[in-house]
Chain A
Amino acid sequence: MQISTHELKSKIIESLKLQDITPEQIDDDAPLFGTGLGLDSIDALELVVLLEKEYGIVIKDIEEGRPAFRSVRTLADFIAVKRPQ
């Protein structure tokens, strides 16, 4: 089941304790890392934990997860496919 990007952005903001930013200010297609939202490697680990806690998705192969972390939209699509039913 597809989750809304708004919901996912809210969870990312909460999980990463981002301040002074709202879901509306995050572009669905902007890069999560480097430019765009400007996340770093520690945030990546925190997102991996978020996926397990909130959606029951365990990423065992980093190569599998890498494309999913390009943007909020790719992450939402990844969750829709991998989420246990």
Chain B
Amino acid sequence: MTEISIAAASTVTGADLPAARLGQRFGRLDLQSQLALLAVASLNVNFDGLPRDRTGICLAASAGSLSTDVNFWNGRHAVGGPSPTLFAYTLPSAAVGEVAIHFRLTGPNLCFVGDDKIILPEAADLLRRGEADACVCIYCDVVTADCSKIISLPPAAMARAFFLKNGGGGICTLPEFDRDMKALSAIIFQTKSAG
């Protein structure tokens, strides 16, 4: 069986955003997309050296796009209506698109709502099935204060990213079985932090 390893890892929080310099349009993104993009940029992977169409993206979001949905809903009484820009981010997969656009990654992509433990097994499956040679994995834990009041979860603003690739080396090699990968996910995705 082909070995798969985690080649790079990063964690960012809301506190890291003010210093982020990821282009003129970074400010337009919703919080989840900003954190996802910054987490991937913080991996310091040279995507120029990889085939873009063979690099996938696998993202899980703890609360989907709910924080942005709430922001959009709260703007409904504003003059001119809620922000059209915000509307574009009222989908859990919006951050996948932003990462794909920014890093010009055109490989397969997956988006999950909720369970962070699914990312590594699903990303590993992409590689094992030969659909990709590498995969950017992202877990976003974003719960804004307004959203927190509704879903009774503590506020959070954090994203973690991992870069999976075929072959050994890197930070660690992935276990062979899904259950062990889920256990590994539980370890590496466990920290939640408010930003």
Interface residues of A (CB under 8 A from B): 16-21, 38, 42-43, 45-46, 48-50, 52-53
Q: A15 → chain B, closest Cβ, in Å?
A: 9
Measured in the bound complex, the distance between the Cα atoms of B79 and A39 in whole Å is 22
Q: Does B78 contact A19, Cβ atoms closer than 8 Å? A: no
Give the number of A-B contacts (CB < 8 Å).
41
B89 to A: closest C-beta gap in Å: 10
Give the interface SS of chain A, mostly helix, strand, loop or mixed. helix
- Considering the complex of A and B, which 3 residue pairs feature the smallest CB-CB distances, nearest first? A17-B27, A45-B84, A49-B80
The contact of A49 among B27, B28, B84, B88, by CB within 8 Å, is B84
Q: How many residues of B contact A (CB 8 A)?
A: 15
Chain B interface residues toward A at CB < 8 A: 21, 23-28, 78-81, 83-85, 88
| Residue from A18, A21, A43, A53 in contact with B78 in the complex, judged by beta carbons closer than 8 Å | A53
Q: Are A20 and B80 in contact (CB under 8 A)?
A: no
Cβ-defined contact, A16 with B28, below 8 A: yes
| Cβ B88 vs Cβ A19 within 8 A | no
Chain B residue at smallest Cβ distance from A16 = B28
Give the nearest-CB partner of A51 in chain B: B80
> Are B85 and A46 in touch, CB under 8 angstroms?
yes
B81 touches A49 (CB 8 A): yes
